[in-house]
């Protein structure tokens, strides 16, 4: 009998194709990771995911050429490790900061970790990633065990042909997808037409959030890398933007007899994580009475900028695109910042104050070098600070009381910028807030106070965690108010170098940097989905000592005179106007008669009649309001990329035509500002050197 022996080099098809199995598992796993990540972040699956998929196929094709499965496994695992790390980092950054994790912002995740006390971080979202990794490892082990090749077996020709074909398909798919995108329009007047244009977004990488949501993770990080390398088109070139050497002055609609100018002082106070609903007669009695009796309150101020962005925006009137401002900008100067403007008068001293140890970003460098303050006082600037256990956040009351003479010196005119902290970290699982604020809790839990607070904030009677977080938050607002009350008493009882009480010569501007977006239902959410756009209103309060009060039994007196009365009348003004963080700087400039350039300042003073418009660093969107809904006591908000329909708002052609020029101008200014930063062009702008207006 003749027996035919099988060729020892013969391989079954299932084994001869085994060089594709590990790359195939890699492709499937990357797609599943993206699906999981986008679902956790509540993003729609990227409409142009073909860009990421073809990149993954290209990588898999190259890995398939590697002759050793163990080396294939190492290479695939490195890519997947990077993807899982950036996905988890992105999810945490989105939960904590509403930001997108990117290559140039490695500090985003560090900031998120540092600030974990601000809300409960539910890490259960990691469990599906663990299952995915486990399944991936199991699949690799099975491939390595069941599809081992006999020694001497060769499949080089088949490997080369198939991998070459996959490389061609992936490259062809990528280039075809790009070629099929419609061309964008050039010129600053056509920017709105480009907002939904994927080609424009791909070429310019103009919005990280939009790029991630549009193209998927692998395309996003490739574009991110190319952008860092300078391979992407400059948006300023696309929009044909240039620095205009001639100054185009803004004008502000404030009565001449209410303009302050030299000889008057300024205190701006950023109230960390402050919702408008948190101002009440119980936990903020000093602020509540002062606002009601002597201030203009803007009923329509929305902000969800990060604190570091609010610092910069309120001090310069500008917004930087695609940069994380907690980074160190080196020798970049901003001669148009408020501190630098006041510094040009030798009569003024400028100082900034904040109650943290500066863990999140280099505030000392930014405040003293970039923004120009003569001094920056932080957590370590006074003795025996009281602080929360993990985050080095002092009591706001101590911040004010220990620095009263620095905030408002009596021998010089001054500009002081104070950033509060007590309302920031309220998570009871991360720190013992009650131990740090024992006095505040004793106050708010007095029966008469607690009864009124639970009536205003029913969440105090609800879920234990929500109730405790809300109690912590309200204790923080009371701590802030005690400090602010000490400042008011000091201003009302202390005379400056001109012999007048400081309250008569000091303007005060107070604003929240964002509502409690880490727990948007902490107090009371105004919108059904606060994270989707702007959420809750924040306070914006302006005290102008020269402004006239109205409806007073004392006659036509100034806000300063009313503030000094033992029993001040309720003469505050509620200004029903949509406003954003961009409007704070021009409001201050109008108060002090400071001339500004339209190219560098694109917000609107609250005293102007021109339309205000917002900028959101979180998404790269411009947003604003088309009207006030009196029935629901809230603003009808819109945002770019969503012109047609958002939260029940439908913009007609006339409304779209009305807001488009303003949107174009704001976007053009943002990109111009970004270009000025990259080139440090501020040093060469003579027009940035403005002077304080003379007092009347």
Domains of the chain: total: 2
Same domain for 177 and 264? no
Tell me which residues of the chain have a pLDDT lower than 50.
1, 5, 115-119, 326, 528-534, 645-646, 695-696
pLDDT recorded at residue 546: 92
> Last residue of a domain, which of 182, 201, 232?
182
- pLDDT given for residue 649 in this prediction: 59
> For position 118, what pLDDT does the model report?
46
User: Residue 225 falls within a domain, yes or no?
Assistant: no
Report if residue 245 sits inside a domain: no
Do residues 266 and 124 both lie within one domain? no
What pLDDT does residue 78 have? 95
**pTM listed for this prediction:** 0.86
- Asked if residue 393 belongs to a domain, the reply is yes
Domain end among 116, 148, 182 = 182
Q: What is the CATH number of the domain that holds 339?
A: 3.40.720.10
Which residue, of 152, 182, 212, is where some domain finishes? 182
Give first-to-last CA distance, the chain, whole Å.
Answer: 121
Query: How many separate helices (H) and strands (E) can be counted in the chain?
Result: 25, 11
Give me the sheet containing 634-639, strands edge to edge: 614-615, 622-629, 634-639
**What's the token pair of residue 420?**
């509060």
- Within a domain: residue 46? yes
> What is the CB neighbour count within 10 angstroms for residue 445?
13
166 shares a domain with 273: no
User: Domain check: are 170 and 284 in the same one?
Assistant: no
| Residue 541 forms part of a structural domain | yes
The contacts of residue 251 (CB under 8 Å, 6+ apart) are: none
The single-letter DSSP state of residue 589 is H
Write the DSSP assignment of 159-219 as a string of letters: HHHHHHHHHHHHHHHHHHHHHTSPPPP-SGGGHHHHTT-HHHHHHH---HHHHHHHH-HHH
Same domain? For 321 and 419 the reply is yes
Range of the domain at 129: 13-182
178 and 266 assigned to the same domain: no
| Residues 300 and 416 both lie in one domain | yes
Cα–Cα distance measured from residue 372 to residue 352, given in angstroms and rounded to the nearest whole number: 10
């Amino acid at each position: 009998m003749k027996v035919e022996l099988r060729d020892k080099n013969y391989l079954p098809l299932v084994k001869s194709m085994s060089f594709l199995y590990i790359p195939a598992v890699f492709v499937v796993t990357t797609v599943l990771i993206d699906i999981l990540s986008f679902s956790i972040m509540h993003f729609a699956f990227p409409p142009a995911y073909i860009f990421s998929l073809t990149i993954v196929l290209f990588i898999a094709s190259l890995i398939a050429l590697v002759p050793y499965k163990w080396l294939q496994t190492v290479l695939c695992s490195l890519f997947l490790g990077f993807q899982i790390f950036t996905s988890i980092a992105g999810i945490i950054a989105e939960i904590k900061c509403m930001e997108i994790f990117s290559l140039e912002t490695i500090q985003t995740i560090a900031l998120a970790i540092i600030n974990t006390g601000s809300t409960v971080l539910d890490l259960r979202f990691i469990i599906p990633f663990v299952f995915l990794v486990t399944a991936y490892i199991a699949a690799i082990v099975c491939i390595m065990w069941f599809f081992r090749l006999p020694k001497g077996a060769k499949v080089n020709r088949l490997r080369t042909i198939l991998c070459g074909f996959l490389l061609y398909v992936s490259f062809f798919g990528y280039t075809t997808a790009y070629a099929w995108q419609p061309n964008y329009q050039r010129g600053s007047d056509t920017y709105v037409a480009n907002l939904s244009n994927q080609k424009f977004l791909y070429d310019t990488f103009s919005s990280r959030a939009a790029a991630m949501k549009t193209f998927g993770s692998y395309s996003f990080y490739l574009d991110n890398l190319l952008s860092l390398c300078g391979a992407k088109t400059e948006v300023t070139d696309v929009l044909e933007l240039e620095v205009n050497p001639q100054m185009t002055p803004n004008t502000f609609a404030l009565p001449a007899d209410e303009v302050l100018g030299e000889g008057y002082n300024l205190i701006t106070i950023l109230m960390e994580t402050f919702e408008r609903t948190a101002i009440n007669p119980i936990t903020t009695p000093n602020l509540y009475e002062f606002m009601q009796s002597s201030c203009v309150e803007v009923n329509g101020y929305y902000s969800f900028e990060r604190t570091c962005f609010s610092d910069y925006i309120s001090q310069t009137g500008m917004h930087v695109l695609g940069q994380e401002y907690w980074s160190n900008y080196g020798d970049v100067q901003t001669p148009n910042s408020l501190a630098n403007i006041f510094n040009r008068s030798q009569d003024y001293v400028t100082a900034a104050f904040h109650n943290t140890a500066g863990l999140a970003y280099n505030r000392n460098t930014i405040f003293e070098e970039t923004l120009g303050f003569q001094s920056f006082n932080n957590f370590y600037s006074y003795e025996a600070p009281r602080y929360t256990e993990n985050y080095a956040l002092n009591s706001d009351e101590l911040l004010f009381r220990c620095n009263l003479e620095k905030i408002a010196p009596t021998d010089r005119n001054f500009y002081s910028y104070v950033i509060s902290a007590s309302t920031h970290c309220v998570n009871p699982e991360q720190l013992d807030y009650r131990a740090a604020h024992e006095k505040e809790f004793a106050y708010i839990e007095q029966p008469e106070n607690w009864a009124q607070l639970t009536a205003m904030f029913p969440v105090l009677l609800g879920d234990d965690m929500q109730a405790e977080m809300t109690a912590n938050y309200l204790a923080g607002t009371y701590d802030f108010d005690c400090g602010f009350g000490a400042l008011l008493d000091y201003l009302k009882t202390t005379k400056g170098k001109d012999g007048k009480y400081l309250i008569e010569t000091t303007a005060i501007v107070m604003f929240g940097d964002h509502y409690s977006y880490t727990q948007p239902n902490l107090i009371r959410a105004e919108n059904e989905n606060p994270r989707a756009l702007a959420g809750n209103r924040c306070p914006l309060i302006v005290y102008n000592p020269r402004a006239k009060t109205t409806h007073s039994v004392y006659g036509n007196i100034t806000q300063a005179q009313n503030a000094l009365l033992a029993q001040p009348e309720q003469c505050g003004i509620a200004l029903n106007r949509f406003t954003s963080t961009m409007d704070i700087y021009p409001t201050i400039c109008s108060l002090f008669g400071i001339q500004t350039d339209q190219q560098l300042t694109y917000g609107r003073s609250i005293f102007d009649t021109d339309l205000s418009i917002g900028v959101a660093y979180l998404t790269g969107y411009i947003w604003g309001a088309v009207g006030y809904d009196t029935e629901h006591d809230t603003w009808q908000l819109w945002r770019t990329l969503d012109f047609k329909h958002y939260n029940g708002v439908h913009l007609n052609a006339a409304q779209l035509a009305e807001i488009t020029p303003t949107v174009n101008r704001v976007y053009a200014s943002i990109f111009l500002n970004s270009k000025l930063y990259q080139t440090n062009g501020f040093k060469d702008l003579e027009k940035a050197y403005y002077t304080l207006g003379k007092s009347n």
